[in-house]
Amino acid sequence: MSGYDHRAIEQKWQERWEKQRVAEVDLRSARDKYYMLMMFPYPSGDRLHVGHGRNYILGDALYRYLRMRGRRALNPMGWDAFGLPAENAAIQRGVHPRDWTLDNIKVMKRQFRRWGILYDWSKEVTSCLPDYYRWNQWLFLRMLERGLAYKRRAPVNWCPSCRTVLANEQVIDGACERCGTEVVQRDLEQWFLRITDYAERLLEGLESLAGWPEKVLLMQRNWIGRSEGAEIDFPLVSGAPPITVFTTRPDTLHGATFLVLAPEHPRVAELVGEHPDRPEIEAWIERVRKTPRIEREGEGSAKSGRDLGARAINPATGEAIPVWIADYVLPDYGSGAIMAVPAHDARDLAFARQEGLPVRLVYHPTERAVRAEDLSEPILHEGEIRGCGEFDGATDGPETIHRFVEWLAAAGKGRPRVTYRLRDWLISRQRYWGTPIPVVYCEGCGIVPVPDDRLPVELPYEVEFSGREGNPLARCESFVSTSCPACGAPARRETDTMDTFVDSSWYYLRYLSPRDSAQIFDPETTSRWAPVDQYIGGIEHAILHLLYARFVCRVVHDFGLVPFEEPFRNLFNQGMITRYSERTGRIEKMSKSKGNTVSPDTLIDEMGADTERVYTLFLGPPEDEVEWNDEAVTGAYRFLQRLWRVAERVGEAPPTAPSDAELERARHHAIARVARDFERFKFNTAVAALMELLNALTKAVEGKTASRLCCEATMDTLLQLLHPIAPHVTEELWERRGHVETLLDSDWPVADESKLKRDRLQIVVQVDGKLRDRIEVDADWGEREVRAAALDSDKVREHVGGREIAKAVLVPGRLVNLVTRKEAS
RNA sequence: GCGAAAGUGGCGGAACCGGUAGACGCGCUAGAUUUAGGAUCUAGUCCCGAGACUUCGGGUUGGGGGUUCGAAUCCCCCCUUUCGCACCA
């Protein structure tokens, strides 16, 4: 045999896997099915670095393991191919987004191949191609029919320099991420999906996701933000219709000394009425509207407001109270109006003090005397109600709140109400590189959906990327001008495209019938193969992507297309890889912008993909953030070289040798450990276990302490267990050892419990909890024998020092603890 | 501010259910081998103090307390770091 030539070996096996399409799955049979899924990547122009590799290597190790366990594992891959960087490349470098994206896909595919990753490419989907995004349009139209998609005016982040709308993530410290211009708030007609209708179901569904990390469930729960309380109507002194507020603390109603409306509240125009300062107030409202949300909502932001002059009646006290508007009340939460209870709410108190508004206590602390006029901190969750008639003496708690709600409801002044922090999903993007929203605007017919048989509404290729104005689509006359599908009159197309989160909300269903040109996906195949058994991806998608995917799953469930409501049974979030950055002088997430990336190409050239795979998985627990260490990679390389050398020499072992049982024990111990580790994704400890097994085998071969038969069996087991981690070198050695079928098709070894047993074993002796000696005992000895053997030891006797043994705690196979009676002192 | 997670050698990290802390690897030290090497092999490597080649004692899992025969692991307080949310009524 020759030396370990990783280049030749890796090339050979990659070619073979590709040619034989080993990962292709026939979906007609779903016996032993296991649908695993890696979050599909955005094909950015940046080459993949070893930090990205972690995801894919982890997934491939899982895939190969499942295959060897006999599962019919489906591991598809595709491209989240719409998005902003493609358009920026077009503007900056004059490449068309489509060409740029498709080129990037080719490059990334080659990189996956070089890592030795097996995907079922026959299921590939590319979201920027019409045969995919037409089904985005189809889905949108179905939602439009059911009122789940709608259009309304809404404030958006607007960059005056780029003249375009920005997503929240593109606004950094109130400025545009691209040009640094301060972002302003603008009202535009926008398309929304009514995810809020599903808030309760999305929240309840979390209960069933036992296979999801607690952290993600919690983040989703907080994001949905269910909040129970009451709606209360405040009649106006003028006799105009009442103002309705939402509160979680109806029990503090008696302390409501003023109302505050969001400046955007629909009643504001009417209420400001004949106010003498009306022009000033309107100018102020305009300023608030233009303030970016990020700035307005920051906790440190100073509150400001205006007295509208109108007066409302507190339904509990009958008192007339002023009606204000202020920027700290948000238009899209609750009813966009609050009752201010300064005595029991920090924000209201701060505002009341600032504006000289009255403060009235409902709950009076019992331990100390408090005067409303001196209050500088709100009274929260203490004291008892005073001065509120029938409620006097009640203390803070759910029951008191309930009594107030009942009382309000009986009087017709209010009612129980649940609100959510979750807002409807704004899907409009004033961008070219996305799915066109399939509607047409007609003078006569209004908003007209594009009929199904005219889908897809294709993105025109020939558009101008000047970069000066937002959406190139809007300037593409051949796209915009069309005829009304309803009446045939000239009409204009919608030029907004969809948020790319729409694409990624259902792609896992399309993988199951990627070429179906008649329907979005085949419901029959889907019901057999979905939901996804194991989803793997980064924690950065803990909220939006996963929430949208869960939402869309329920929508298609309600359409009768899938029998389940949850798309992903188990979720695993791998941590990121960090490395020291020269540029920032800190340890940071590996990224191009930080200049701390490591290229897999160089690494693979020098030490091979198997080395990168072993090292990446060995680095640390896959769910944790781990730091890449350039020097430590050689440890993985050495490991594979040692494996190669031992494989060459394993035939030199003698026909018989004394320590077969010991090597057998090491072999079965490794089998048990690796299986357990793989099940929990603990690839780092699995690698450690395999290194130990190799060490044991090396010792046995070199010291001629185990028989050839036993060494050969250990070698085979080692190759099998290591295959998911280092697939190329293991297949090569396996083949060279004369096996006919491939490792990937071999049966995963099973640990034999009986081989793990020993007749005699070493246990630890403690005296009063301190380790004093190790003794050898028979495996089946009871406490009496072990105790006697322990006392046989000089060291133990010395430490017992003649004291009486009060008791002995025996942990079978591990230790015995002799507890001495304390001398009376 | 609220919520969550995590703190173990020089470094990355092990330790299943409360039972030998530091597996495995990197680095480092010494030696061997090689024309040479950043290649390979062998031995050593938590800290302190004695003892001497195969030892012995003490300490040690961010800090302090507690439960227990026994705590990295469970409970309480504090410190630090990271992440999520952040005027949500």
Give yes or no for a contact between A288 and A263, defined as CB atoms under 8 angstroms apart.
yes
Confidence check: pLDDT of A592 > 90: no
In this structure, the number of other CB atoms found within 10 A of the CB of residue A822 comes to 10
As a whole-number percent, the residues of chain A with pLDDT over 90 amount to 66
**Span A739-766, mean pLDDT?**
88
Q: How far apart are CA A670 and CA A465, in angstroms?
A: 59
Distances (CA, A) of A320 to A272, A347, A460: 17, 22, 61
Write down the pLDDT at residue A467. 65
A771 touches strand B (CB under 7 A): yes
| Distance, Å, A498 CA → B88 C1' | 27
Confidence check: pLDDT of A319 > 70: yes
CATH architecture group of domain A226-420: Alpha-Beta Complex (3.90)
Among chain A residues 40-59, those with CB within 7 Å of any atom of strand B: none
CATH 1.10.730.10 residue spans of chain A: 596-755
A481 touches strand B (CB under 7 A): no
- Looking across all nucleic acid strands, the nucleotide with the smallest C1' to CA distance from residue A763 is B20
Categorize the per-residue pLDDT at A816 as very low, low, confident or very high, splitting at 50, 70 and 90.
confident
The region of weakest confidence among A483-487, A788-792, A820-824 is A820-824
Q: To 10 degrees, the CA torsion angle through A83, A89, A91, A96?
A: -80
* A270-278: long-range pairs with CB below 8 Å, 24+: A270/A240, A271/A240, A271/A308, A271/A309, A271/A310, A271/A323, A272/A308, A272/A309, A273/A309, A273/A310, A275/A308, A275/A309, A277/A306
Among chain A residues 612-671, those with CB within 7 Å of any atom of strand B: 618-621, 624-627, 629, 631-632, 634-639, 641-642
Categorize the per-residue pLDDT at A169 as very low, low, confident or very high, splitting at 50, 70 and 90.
low
Categorize the per-residue pLDDT at A45 as very low, low, confident or very high, splitting at 50, 70 and 90.
confident
Give yes or no for a contact between A348 and A329, defined as CB atoms under 8 angstroms apart.
no
Categorize the per-residue pLDDT at A468 as very low, low, confident or very high, splitting at 50, 70 and 90.
low
Write down the pLDDT at residue A299. 60
| Distance, Å, A772 CA → B65 C1' | 28
Tokens in use for A161? 């320099």
Adjacent-strand bridge partners of A260: A324, A338
Give yes or no for a contact between A70 and A32, defined as CB atoms under 8 angstroms apart.
yes
As a whole-number percent, the residues of chain A with pLDDT over 70 amount to 97
Kindly tell me the sign of the dihedral angle through the C-alpha atoms of A612, A618, A624, A629.
Answer: negative
A325 touches strand B (CB under 7 A): no
**Span A630-643, mean pLDDT?**
91
Choice between A528 and A589, residue whose per-residue pLDDT is larger: A528
CATH 3.90.740.10 residue spans of chain A: 226-420
Write down the pLDDT at residue A298. 66
pLDDT by residue (tens digit) across A245-277?
A: 999 999 999 999 999 999 999 999 999 888 889
pLDDT by residue (tens digit) across A1-31?
A: 468 899 999 999 999 999 999 999 999 999 9
Highest mean pLDDT among A309-313, A762-766, A779-783: A309-313
Among chain A residues 2-31, those with CB within 7 Å of any atom of strand B: none
| Distance, Å, A720 CA → B84 C1' | 41
Confidence check: pLDDT of A125 > 80: yes
Give yes or no for a contact between A689 and A711, defined as CB atoms under 8 angstroms apart.
no
- Looking across all nucleic acid strands, the nucleotide with the smallest C1' to CA distance from residue A799 is B57
Give yes or no for a contact between A785 and A760, defined as CB atoms under 8 angstroms apart.
no
Q: How far apart are CA A236 and CA A768, in angstroms?
A: 79
Write down the pLDDT at residue A165. 77
CATH 3.10.20.590 residue spans of chain A: 758-820
Confidence check: pLDDT of A754 > 60: yes
- Looking across all nucleic acid strands, the nucleotide with the smallest C1' to CA distance from residue A819 is B69
DSSP string covering A626-657: EE--TTTHHHHHHHHHHHHHHHHHGGGS-SS-
Among chain A residues 577-596, those with CB within 7 Å of any atom of strand B: none
> In a 10 Å sphere around its CB, with 0-12 CB exposed, 13-18 middle and 19+ buried, how is residue A674 labelled?
buried
A784 touches strand B (CB under 7 A): no
Q: Which amino acid is at A750?
A: V
| Distance, Å, A258 CA → B84 C1' | 34
A303 touches strand B (CB under 7 A): yes
Backbone torsion region of residue A562, taken as left when φ is above 0, otherwise alpha when ψ lies between -120 and 50, otherwise beta: beta
A715 touches strand B (CB under 7 A): no
Give the mean pLDDT of chain A.
Answer: 90
A330 touches strand B (CB under 7 A): yes
Write down the pLDDT at residue A452. 96
Write down the pLDDT at residue A822. 62
CATH 3.20.20.70 is the classification of domain A758-820: no
Nucleotides in chain B near protein beta carbons (<7 Å): 3-5, 11-15, 19-21, 23-27, 39-42, 56-59, 69-71, 82-89
A223 touches strand B (CB under 7 A): yes
pLDDT by residue (tens digit) across A173-208?
A: 677 766 777 778 888 899 999 999 999 999 999 999
The two beta strands, A258-261 and A320-326, are parallel
Write down the pLDDT at residue A794. 78
A698 touches strand B (CB under 7 A): yes
Write down the pLDDT at residue A559. 97
- Looking across all nucleic acid strands, the nucleotide with the smallest C1' to CA distance from residue A761 is B20
In this structure, the number of other CB atoms found within 10 A of the CB of residue A63 comes to 25
Q: How far apart are CA A770 and CA A86, in angstroms?
A: 65
Topology of domain A596-755 in CATH is Isoleucyl-tRNA Synthetase; Domain 1 (1.10.730)
Phi and psi at residue A789, in whole multiples of 5°? -65, -35
Write down the pLDDT at residue A87. 87
Write down the pLDDT at residue A430. 87
Write down the pLDDT at residue A824. 40
Tokens in use for A101? 């994206």
- Residues near A748 by beta carbon (within 8 Å), at least 6 away in sequence: A65, A68, A69, A70, A675, A720
How far does Cα A567 stand from its chain's mean position?
Answer: 14
First vs last C-alpha separation in chain A = 74
Q: 3-class DSSP state for residue A660?
A: helix
Q: How far apart are CA A548 and CA A554, in angstroms?
A: 10
Confidence check: pLDDT of A106 > 50: yes
